[in-house]
Structure 1
């Protein structure tokens, strides 16, 4: 079997590689930064919902600023009025991302970053199915095999293959959730909910970028997303009865610290780069980026937090690496409707010229 990698199809533009790497780096940073901001009891000294909401505000300010650099504010208002339906549609991924971002803080307090990213890989199959349903593009056998191998590789990370691992877990009488890895508990249920939110939000967001919102400026779409997200997070605070208390001076003073501000700006950068990722690449490749994040996170967590790396981690890296190579031979190429129409017109011209 040929192992030739279709680099031109995998990364169609010169910026694709930059976007891919930036996406991975930012996500790896997020897990480590959130863990570093926890107390010794794995709790937070700040309101995490407020942090998520303020992060969306930062994303909104950045998107509006970039758009208004080349366009008038009146143009943004006109685009909003013209594409109000698209803005309403963005409430779906905005709500899902809202749940995802808030659950990230909860789950990172229960699991170490490596285990957390491992468990998120169960979204692989969900993403593949959602991709087929929304875009009506059937994945090939090789693409499905690569997705299955990726899932197996990630599951291998938690397979106990070392007596040292057993000793490390039995050295304490009451291992924490992050030490014990995956177990069927309330935290496991929250992980499942987070993976479903991530899968459907990512694919539906790509659908809006390339279908219903194909003719809408990407920064205008970002504005739609972040306005909707702010409303959704405000709704969560309202339901919790914390809409007022979350914005008192005492509450905000715990948010505006160096560690938390870094988390906010890093997460804001993730939101911006994700829109470019989905616009230029696709949700399947996004899933592989997430899997590679797991491997780099394992190494960094070993260096920063002293979390050990076992034989099963090395095996998982090997399986996932092969899955990436297998997928790269036949990547999903998903153009926007505008690009599809252009391609069809070019094919028609070729048919006429050859006739």
Structure 2
């Protein structure tokens, strides 16, 4: 709700300055402490759904391999995933437009699309980073088994926390930093080998290649997640499905450029995006699409830390599923690592770990208002 140039949250009545990372972070911190029971149930459903979908993702990728290799182009799977998400967002926009009241500006009008395109152009950055990360997910499967891939991906939580601290000025207590350190220890305990020693790829030891991919695999999506949260929340009044149209549309464009690049280096036959696909890849595309849609709700209505911790819970699901369907062994390292991870989660979200706000809720962030002259934004 806007009054005299000031946007006010309809839930907790917080007033914040737009365009400043601290304001966005502070507004969310105040809002999440006063959410209703209905919203808590929604959060629980989001986390539960995310755990299942994220847990299944490396399993499905592993099942898509034939003799340890992919018979299809990973970029084609990512392209089809983005196209699927665009179609879903468009269908939801049509449904949302039918629910609009008389006199409201149509979500499907050309002017709405043009204005939203201008306001959400920043979504192109996380879309590009996600396109790179989605390709790396397949590459990582060539060096690690599904359980280890899931555990390595959880390293993103610590990187994301640091980025949130410096980019969005989000505050964490000492207990929460200790919880993140515990998370890193738990992940380190679960170091599993998936390839024999001495194996080489591109003339380098496989461990060196794996470490390079792991570094990129951890940092790139971390930047993407934090920037995506900032981009979505900075245009909070824009319908989430309309934002998703642009986010996934950019992603489809970047993956299409990747396909065209492979055509240049590998020949025209690589342009067949359906080559080598199977029933497993179909389920993988659907799973990845659903996972991406859920992620957008996390980034806009929750936060990146909660999203990554919910993905951490999926680790145990991935390990159990790998043992049940793929015959992988659950080692003592895995069990100890999971135990430490769950202790970390409990500690991070404990009421005792919360940062105490030094300003009463519902007040204007005067410090930010004096430093910036941007319009006020509802969060």
Q: TM-score, normalised by structure 1?
A: 0.80
Moved more, 237-246 or 193-202: 237-246
Q: Determine whether 1:101 maps to 2:101.
A: no
Q: Secondary structure at the match of 1:254?
A: coil
Query: Which of 125, 142, 164 is matched with 1:131 structurally?
Result: 164
1:153 and 1:317 in contact (8 A); partners too:
yes
Q: Which moved more, 1:286-295 or 1:257-266?
A: 286-295
Alignment-derived partner of residue 162 in structure 1: none
CA distance in 1: counterparts of 2:66 and 2:42, whole angstroms: 39
What is the match of residue 189 of structure 1? Answer: 212
Equivalent residue, structure 1, for 2:240: 218
Q: In structure 2, what is the equivalent of residue 26 of structure 1? A: 53
Secondary structure of 1:62 counterpart? helix
User: How far 1:158 moved relative to its partner?
Assistant: 1.8
> How far did residue 270 of structure 1 move?
0.6
CA gap of 1:110–1:81, structure 2 versus 1, over 3 A, is: same
Structure 2 residue 86 is the aligned partner of structure 1 residue 60: yes
Q: Which of 98, 108, 131 is residue 75 of structure 1 equivalent to?
A: 108
- Residue 58 of structure 2 corresponds to residue 37 of structure 1: no
Q: Distance in 2 between matches of 1:7 and 1:85?
A: 33
| 1:76, distance to aligned residue in structure 2 (A) | 5.1
Contact 1:222–1:275 (CA<8 Å) still a contact in 2?
A: yes
Structure 1's 176 and 272: CA in aligned 2 closer, same or farther, altered over 3 A?
A: farther
Alignment check: 8 A CA contact 2:173 2:354 kept = no
Q: Distance in 1 between matches of 2:250 and 2:52?
A: 26
Aligned to 1:313: 334
Change (3 A) 1:239 1:173: closer
Higher helix share: 1
Give yes or no for contact 2:160–2:304 (8 Å, CA) kept in 1.
Answer: yes
Residue 229 of structure 1, aligned match among 232, 251, 255 = 251
- Does the residue aligned with 2:258 lie in a helix, a strand or coil? helix
Between Structure 1 and Structure 2, how many residues are aligned? 315
Q: Deviations over 1:290-332 (max 9, x none)?
A: 2222222112111111111122222112211111110111477
Distance of 1:235 and 1:9 partners within structure 2: 42
The equivalent of 1:349 in structure 2 is: none
Looking at structure 2, the residues matched to 223 and 296 of structure 1 have their Cα atoms a distance apart, in angstroms, of 31
Which of 116, 122, 126 does residue 149 from structure 2 map onto? Answer: 116
- Aligned-partner Cα distance in 2 for 1:9–1:313: 35
Give the conservation status (yes or no) of the 8 Å contact 2:262–2:270: no
- TM-score, structure 2 normalization: 0.75
Q: Which runs of 5+ in 1 are unaligned?
A: 1-5, 160-164, 334-339, 346-355
User: Are 1:14 and 2:41 matched, yes or no?
Assistant: yes
Q: In the alignment, does 2:302 pair up with 1:269? A: no
Partner Cα separation in structure 2 for residue 158 and residue 10 of structure 1: 40
| 1:90 to 1:145, Cα distance in 2 relative to 1, 3 A | same
Q: 1:288 aligns with which of 294, 300, 309?
A: 309
Contact kept, 8 Å, 2:263 with 2:271, in 1: the verdict is no
Contact 2:155 2:218 in 1 (8 A): yes
1:211-241 deviation per Cα after TM superposition (whole angstroms, max 9, x unaligned): 2x11111001100101110111122223333
How far residue 343 of structure 1 moved from its aligned partner, in angstroms, is 3.6
RMSD of equivalent CA atoms: 3.0
Greater than 6 Å deviation, 4+ residue runs: 6-11, 172-177
